[in-house]
Structure 1
Amino acid sequence: MTAAPATSTPTHAADQPDPRLWNEDLAPAKDRRWKVYDIFALWMSDVHNLGNYTFAAGLFVLGLSAWQVFTALLTGFVLIYFGMNLMGRIGQKTGVPFPVVARVSFGTFGANLPALIRAIIAIFWYGIQTYLASVAITLLVLAIDPGLKPLTEVGFLGLHALGWICFIALWLAQALVLTRGMEAVRKFQDWCGPGIWVVMIALAVWVLAAADWNISLTGNPKALSTGEQVRQWFGAVGLILSIYGTLMLNFCDFSRFAPNQKTVRRGNFWGLPINSTAFALLSVLVTAGSLQVFGEAITDPAELLARIDNTPVLIVGALTFAIATMGVNIVANFVSPAYDLANIWPKRITFTIGGMISAVAALCVLPWKLYSSPAVVNYFLGGLGAFLGPLFGIMIVDYYLVKRGRVDVGKLFVAGPDSPYHYKRGFNPRAMVTFLPTAALSAVIALVPFFAPAAPYSWFIGTASAAALYFAVSRKQRVA
């Protein structure tokens, strides 16, 4: 399975790139500077954040032991590792970002459908993640200087003054990195992830020392039956797949900069099964330690840090959580919409412009109001998130089983019928016919209360059903 050579500009006159489909940012990557450590650091930046800490700690609070959380998340991250390698191979072989890769299966213009779905999800979560981190920073700032409390008593548009200050500070810091392009993203994440590890390990040592270095890996704060433990265990595996299904879909945005596939696989190995599982286990151990030390399981590391009566430590902690949020936001919620929006209007929207549009949109939606609305988070964002599985299933089956790895990269930038990716007026009917019913199935399972027991597996069900249906409807199209 070999892909056509990746060149930024087609050589044949008939294959000249259409300005509706091409700009320098969407073209195949020329500089392949990302090494094993860069991809490893990418995963550290994505994993080391408040959300993943709380997720792992929450599994412990629900009744799974530290050992059960460890094995569940290890299983999930191994599955994610293989999925990332599949999409990573496509990006590394073609050298193009996700919306251009999507043209292979959805058509030159049909690719805007998966690109927009991914972009909308990322923009909303970009704002929400920034807001959640600003809340943690606000708590720590107040712990450092209680005299700032009057700033929390006046507000504007549903957020108090101190909250606005912390939110805008984080927003501007992220924008400073974003405006400098993918090379700045690479350099930022190279030190961001390791820095957070240092602080988290220090926090773990402090908690474990306070607990007399005696943390049980088999005990838990809530007694569950064996059957319920099994259900929670498999549910944790399904949920971690759903969480990382977003980045699994557009991992080619990063792997396109790797010099070879071995680099991608090795970076993914150290970053996913090894690093991610270790961070989850550390989160659970700290939570278990807090239960012994304070008599309650504290799942928010910012709240735990605020209990340390040491101003320099609080300052370092506040900066660390800010950097952690910047890391995950840049990796998971900025790069994708920057490329996705550029794909809509390449002649006018570059990677940088697309990124700034995303950042401004994330501010304008007032994410604190979104987050306070369960209907928005659960039904709107949850429903859109359920669509990602079918998109992934279609793209993987199309590339590996239908096209068998053969992609003419130059033709991805040709708009007319001369391109095999033009299909019918730029849309692939097979992909659309497959996506609509499987996306609906996945959304129903994720959102309808009757199917709640199966909800953690909605991403997997959507992926599998779309893959099977697309393979069936594309039998005559498969490359010999």
Structure 2
Amino acid sequence: LGPMLSATSQFAPGGPKEGQFLKVFLPSVTANVGFWSTLSLNIPDFTRYAKSQKAQLTGQAIGLPVFMALFSFLGVAVTSATTVIFGEVISDPVAVVSRIQGVAPTILSLIGLMLATISTNIAANVVAPANALVNLAPREISFTKGAFITAILGIITQPWRLLSSTEGYIFTWLIGYSALLGPIAGIIIADYFLIRDRTLDVDALYQSKDGGYWYSNGYNG
């Protein structure tokens, strides 16, 4: 595990970042909220297939916290171990794989990275926008077409530019994203739990001018 369990905190008295804990902690929490905000708002795209409310609650309560805690621990543990194995801290899994000796371990590691990337992107980044595109033009766009359009738009936006700078990615993109989606989530939660008391007219959700949710030309102003 390397020095992760024995190293002294940099925020401790006398450490290089003494007195800066909140300055680092609060933006980090906000960035993590921003990282998960899109999936949180789009979780109905997945829970709609659950057999019951209890089923989706159980799945999320067990699946998300437990496995995310495990994955986070593995990431920190592997990064810590690189200080012992390679003599320096390496947090990029691709860079770690490039240091592995032997053809077979390298191939297996690359296959694992590829499967992780594909499965994560399909689950978290394709389903919701593909469904949104289908809802915009259900006669012209199928889920498959929506997924391909999403992939193309993802390439056009050049997300790798965001990752080129840690400061820009965390403090500009993720925190800015949190500031945008946070109020949206608050409005949705307040509307559903407080104003409507968890009661929705499902038929009206799919009606246009005669529906109770049409508001002003389809916009809730």
Interval of TM-score (by shorter of Structure 1 and Structure 2): 0.7 to 0.9
Which of 189, 195, 203 lines up with 1:396 in the alignment? 189
Look up the match of 1:260: 52
Which of 136, 140, 143 lines up with 1:348 in the alignment? 140
Mapped contact 1:411–1:419 kept (Cα < 8 A)? yes
Look up the match of 2:19: 227
Q: Which runs of 4+ in 1 moved over 6 A?
A: none
Q: Call closer, same or farther: CA 1:234–1:342 in 2, change over 3 Å.
A: same
Matches within 5 A, 1:403-414: 403-414=196-207
Look up the match of 2:90: 298
Look up the match of 1:282: 74
Distance in 2 (alpha carbons) for counterparts of 1:381 and 1:352: 28
Mapped contact 2:31–2:175 kept (Cα < 8 A)? no
Distance in 2 (alpha carbons) for counterparts of 1:241 and 1:345: 31
Distance in 2 (alpha carbons) for counterparts of 1:383 and 1:273: 25
Distance in 1 (alpha carbons) for counterparts of 2:30 and 2:164: 25
Look up the match of 1:453: none
Mapped contact 1:250–1:336 kept (Cα < 8 A)? yes
Mapped contact 1:306–1:314 kept (Cα < 8 A)? yes
Question: Does 2:63 correspond to 1:271?
Answer: yes
Note the aligned Cα RMSD (angstroms): 2.8
Distance in 1 (alpha carbons) for counterparts of 2:194 and 2:112: 44
Q: Call closer, same or farther: CA 1:365–1:245 in 2, change over 3 Å.
A: closer
1:229 Cα deviation (Å)? 2.8
Matches within 5 A, 1:12-31: none
1:254 Cα deviation (Å)? 0.2
Question: Does 2:33 correspond to 1:250?
Answer: no
Matches within 5 A, 1:66-465: 208=1, 215-220=3-8, 222=10, 223-225=15-17, 227-368=19-160, 383-384=176-177, 386-416=179-209, 418-429=210-221
Distance in 1 (alpha carbons) for counterparts of 2:92 and 2:63: 23
- In structure 1, give the amino acid aligned to 2:200: V
1:370 Cα deviation (Å)? 6.5
Distance in 2 (alpha carbons) for counterparts of 1:354 and 1:325: 19
Mapped contact 1:246–1:385 kept (Cα < 8 A)? no
1:386 Cα deviation (Å)? 3.2
How many residue pairs get matched?
Answer: 216
TM-score by length of 2: 0.84
Distance in 2 (alpha carbons) for counterparts of 1:373 and 1:287: 19
1:281 Cα deviation (Å)? 1.6
Q: Call closer, same or farther: CA 1:385–1:263 in 2, change over 3 Å.
A: same
CA shift digits 1:376-412 (9 cap, x unpaired): 9676786455321111111111111111111111111
- In structure 2, give the amino acid aligned to 1:404: D
- In structure 1, give the amino acid aligned to 2:47: S
SS at 1:227 equivalent: coil
- In structure 2, give the amino acid aligned to 1:421: Y
Mapped contact 1:288–1:297 kept (Cα < 8 A)? yes
Distance in 2 (alpha carbons) for counterparts of 1:285 and 1:241: 22
1:365 Cα deviation (Å)? 4.3
Segments of 5+ residues of structure 2 without an aligned counterpart are none
1:325 Cα deviation (Å)? 0.8
- In structure 1, give the amino acid aligned to 2:59: G
1:339 Cα deviation (Å)? 1.0
- In structure 1, give the amino acid aligned to 2:191: D
1:292 Cα deviation (Å)? 2.6
TM-score by length of 1: 0.41
Distance in 1 (alpha carbons) for counterparts of 2:140 and 2:24: 48
Give the structure, 1 or 2, with the largest relative contact order (CA under 8 Å, sep 6 or more). 1
Mapped contact 1:411–1:420 kept (Cα < 8 A)? yes
Distance in 1 (alpha carbons) for counterparts of 2:79 and 2:218: 52
Distance in 1 (alpha carbons) for counterparts of 2:45 and 2:67: 21
CA shift digits 1:112-159 (9 cap, x unpaired): xxxxxxxxxxxxxxxxxxxxxxxxxxxxxxxxxxxxxxxxxxxxxxxx
Distance in 2 (alpha carbons) for counterparts of 1:232 and 1:380: 16
Q: Call closer, same or farther: CA 1:381–1:357 in 2, change over 3 Å.
A: farther
Percent identity, aligned pairs only?
Answer: 35
Distance in 1 (alpha carbons) for counterparts of 2:126 and 2:18: 41
- In structure 2, give the amino acid aligned to 1:299: S
Distance in 2 (alpha carbons) for counterparts of 1:218 and 1:381: 31
Q: Call closer, same or farther: CA 1:255–1:363 in 2, change over 3 Å.
A: same
Q: Call closer, same or farther: CA 1:225–1:253 in 2, change over 3 Å.
A: same
